[in-house]
Amino acid sequence: MVNAVKISDCQRWIIKIGSSLLTNNGQGLAVDAIDAWVEQIAALRQAGHEVLLVSSGAVAAGLARLGWARRPHALHKLQAAAAIGQMGLVQAYESRFQKYGLHTAQVLLTHEDLVNRQRYLNARSTLSTLLDLGVIPIVNENDTVATEEIRFGDNDTLAALVANLVEADLLVLLTDQQGLLDGDPRTNPGARLIPEALAGDPALEKMAAGSGGALGRGGMLTKVRAAARAARSGTVTLIAAGSERNILQRLAADEVLGTRLIPVRGAVAARKQWLAGQLKVRGRLLLDEGAVKVLRSAGSSLLPVGVTRVEGEFDRGDLVVCLDPAGEEVARGLVNYNAADSKQIIGQPSRRIEELLGYIDETELIHRDNLVLTT
């Protein structure tokens, strides 16, 4: 397979680091390991890459702080351990990133935050702002309010959903294996590393399900599935061994390591397809000729001033269709204001939004990143 993607050209990175790479065999945080990861991430930032970190380790850190030798089975005890351990995990990162003049931010999410459209937009705005400010968001599953058992591999899925959320160029899943193998190394000594494949290829799941070691119980499978999810926004996924020395710098230098899973479509095409076909339409916006022309010719955001009428009942984050003066669909996208507020600001310049509503979320009614032309 010929790959035109250079890792060094990827600006926005999501890096997921698993518990085995951050803890001393589950007995508390490995300080030296965290120091090494922070040093590498700081170097990426110095080189101009944006970095969002999805970090495991909270439960293991909590167990150590509580003096529990074994991981409990009771959900409420796991949640308590996660809550306690999260404090130590964030403190460890914050103190070390400060040595490089970098700020961090703790962001706790559940999968529901990223499938609910309103919370999706809120989370997207917050993370985008943090990245614009040069802050390194440290994201974790909000285990203290999880409604199902905390299970190994969940952060792989979370990392993929975050990649969709911020439209990352690259998702790096660091593991204790060198990448995806074409067989189980325990029974097949000749099993070979798959250096590159298409994300979402059904054959990859079969290979991942038969991989050995601790990951063979689902870890590698969740990574393959996470890559397929990340590909929806055009994100390239790299599955690589976190034990490799200076792995992040070597990847950034385009050294061929691990398994690279490539999206079938580019970032824009994948996201636009998702917007166009995967959400239920909740309302309609009638546009004037000027707004239609700007959308079609310049690929701009939709501003309130170009809208003449609002139809339907919708909330922030819902999908609405945009119609030309003749009633023909022009575009569709995720709206930044609910129907009632939209009716108050249509036909008005963006500078009046706060005056009319008493607050302002965005200057656009629909941002161009959340808008797809349909005709």
- Give 319's strand partners: 281, 334
Residue 86 has pLDDT above 70, yes or no: yes
Exposure of 116 in the CB half-sphere (CA atoms within 13 A): 10
Check: CB of residue 37 under 8 Å from CB of residue 97: no
Q: What is the pLDDT of residue 212?
A: 43
pLDDT in tens, 281-291: 899 999 999 99
Token reading at 89: 């995990």
Residue 226 or 177, more confident: 226
Start-end of H helices in 253-374: 267-277, 289-298, 339-345, 353-357
Residue 147 has pLDDT above 60, yes or no: no
Entry pTM: 0.75
240-254, 262-276, 277-291: range with lowest mean pLDDT: 262-276
Share above pLDDT 90 across residues of the chain, in percent, rounded to a whole number: 49
Check: CB of residue 41 under 8 Å from CB of residue 53: yes
Check: CB of residue 20 under 8 Å from CB of residue 215: no
* Residue 182 CB burial class (10 angstroms; 0-12, 13-18, ≥19): middle
Q: What are the strands, taking DSSP E only, across 181-300?
A: 196-198, 236-241, 259-262, 281-287
Share above pLDDT 70 across residues of the chain, in percent, rounded to a whole number: 86
Domains, the chain, ranges and CATH? 7-271 (3.40.1160.10), 279-373 (2.30.130.10)
Q: How far apart are CA 202 and CA 88, in angstroms?
A: 39
Q: Sorting pLDDT into bands at 50, 70 and 90, what band is 270?
A: low
Which residues fall within 8 angstroms of residue 359, CB to CB, at 6 or more apart?
none
Q: Helices (H), strands (E): how many in the chain? A: 13, 13
